Amino acid sequence: MNYALLKLGRALIVVWGAFTASFILLYLMPASPIELLFPPNERASIDPQAFKEMEHAYGFDRPAWQQYVDRLLAALHGDFGTSVGTGQPVIKAIGEALPNTVILAACALVLASLFALSIAWVATYLESARLRNLISSVPPLLVSFPSFLLGLIIIKVFSFQLGWFPPISGEGLRGLVLPAVALAIPVSGPIAQLLLRNFQTEYASPYVLTSYSKGTRKGKVLNTEVLRNASLPALTQGGIIVGELLAGAVITETIFSRAGIGRLTEDAVRAQDVPIVQGIVMLVAVCFVTVNFIVDVSYPLVDPRLKAVSKGVTA
């Protein structure tokens, strides 16, 4: 119990730090967020009184410390203000965009996990050192390959040349396939690297020789023993993977013209809509710490070796 409370306290500190950092970077800029909505060449033609009225309406004319306290208290109640571009509440704008991104990220995560697991399993199963090295070189390539270029290649091949899927993401399964694949491929790279390293470590363990001495075939050893022990450490990368999914969604949803958090982020940054940007920053921070908290709390339950470590932390 104390271990969980300690992790929860650290998670809350991270969320508070993300809010504070985003406030400092976004709200304490030399120019007002209202001024940033207009091109520099148009600002001189706008009535200064209109600027002041809009700043007062959004609270940007108050002292910085008061803005920080007011926005922090409002954020604790789920209120991140309203968009200076559309006038829509930030929570509502994010809530409308979030389901599409969740569906895309979930499908991409499943595909990335299967792809990464296949690479690690095949590279460990093969007897040829040359083939193992060839397959082991795939994950670094996936990590380094530009996401935007991959998306454009996928659209060119499967939409324009083969005509299998629409180039612009629409409703239904056909509109989801290409964005999910484009997002899954780069995300699968770090997962495959971790699984491949864990597979090789576990395959060299003494219990594998014991299984072979009992007449167990290599495929069964990999599926029943090595796979389970090699997959557990991958849980610790949950927060990083979620971050990569959300970051990749910005590029993927933009390339495929798919509505979601990625498109909302791009539009908000382009329009310099500060409240929307801060709301998205907080969403990413909450997702990151939530996944890490769940992993930290559940990992000792699935790996008995860490129970003693968690007890030592709370002692």
pTM of the model: 0.75
- Residue boundaries of the structural domains of the chain: 100-273
Work out whether the CA dihedral 238, 243, 247, 249 comes out positive or negative: positive
pLDDT digits (tens, 9 = 90+) for 136-154: 888 888 777 777 788 888 8
Fold category of 100-273 in CATH: MetI-like fold (1.10.3720)
How many CB atoms sit inside 10 A of residue 80's CB?
A: 23
Query: What is the distance between the alpha carbons of residues 184 and 116, in angstroms, rounded to a whole number?
Result: 10
pLDDT digits (tens, 9 = 90+) for 252-292: 888 888 888 888 888 888 777 778 888 888 888 888 888 77
pLDDT at 117 over 80: yes
Name which residue leads in pLDDT, 39 or 203.
203
pLDDT at 21 over 60: yes
Query: What is the distance between the alpha carbons of residues 60 and 290, in angstroms, rounded to a whole number?
Result: 31
Question: Using alpha carbons only, what angle is made at residue 120 by residues 186 and 251, rounded to the nearest 5 degrees?
Answer: 5
